[in-house]
Amino acid sequence: MMRATSRGQSVASDPRQAVTEFHAAVARPDASLVMFFCSPEYEFDVVADEMRRQFQEVDVVGCTTAGEIGPSGYLEHSLSGVSFSKQDFSVAPAGLDDLINRRSVDSQTPQFLGVETGLRQLKDSPTATEG
C-alpha cells in the first residue's frame, strides 16, 4: 500500500536539476497536490516553470523560505516539499491576493471548506492579537 504522502528534498544548485530531483522523490500517479518550499537563492520563475512542466496534471503550490525542512532535516539553499495522495487528501487550492497589504482577516478571505470559521477563530483568539 502506498503512503499518504511522499517527501523530497534537493540541494542541487541548478533550479531545474533541483526540481528534477524533487520530482523523482515525490511524483506519484495518485497525487492530488504537491507543495514545495525553496530557497530564495533559486530563480523562482525558473523553479515555477519547471514545476509546471514536470507536474502537469497536479496542483502545485510553493513559496520561498529562509530555510527548508525536509527528509534531510533543516537545510538552507535547498528545495523541499511533499505530495499528497488523492485517496487520503481532498484539496481546493485558492489564492489570497495582496497579502502584503492585508493586516487582518476580513470579508474577502476565502469562505470555502470551513476556512472562514478557522480563520475567524484564530482572529478572535486572545493569543492571536497579543504581541
Which pLDDT tens digit goes with each residue over 65-104? Answer: 988 888 888 888 999 999 999 888 888 777 666 666 655 5
Parse the chain into domains and list their residue ranges. Answer: 5-85, 99-126
pLDDT tens digits along 24-45: 999 999 999 999 999 999 999 9
3-state secondary structure (DSSP) of residue 100: helix
Please name the residue ranges forming H helices in 1-131. Answer: 15-26, 44-54, 115-124, 126-129
Please state the pTM of the whole predicted model.
0.71
Helix (H) or strand (E) holding 81: strand 79-85
Tell me the β-bridge partners of 6.
83
5-85: CATH architecture:
2-Layer Sandwich (3.30)
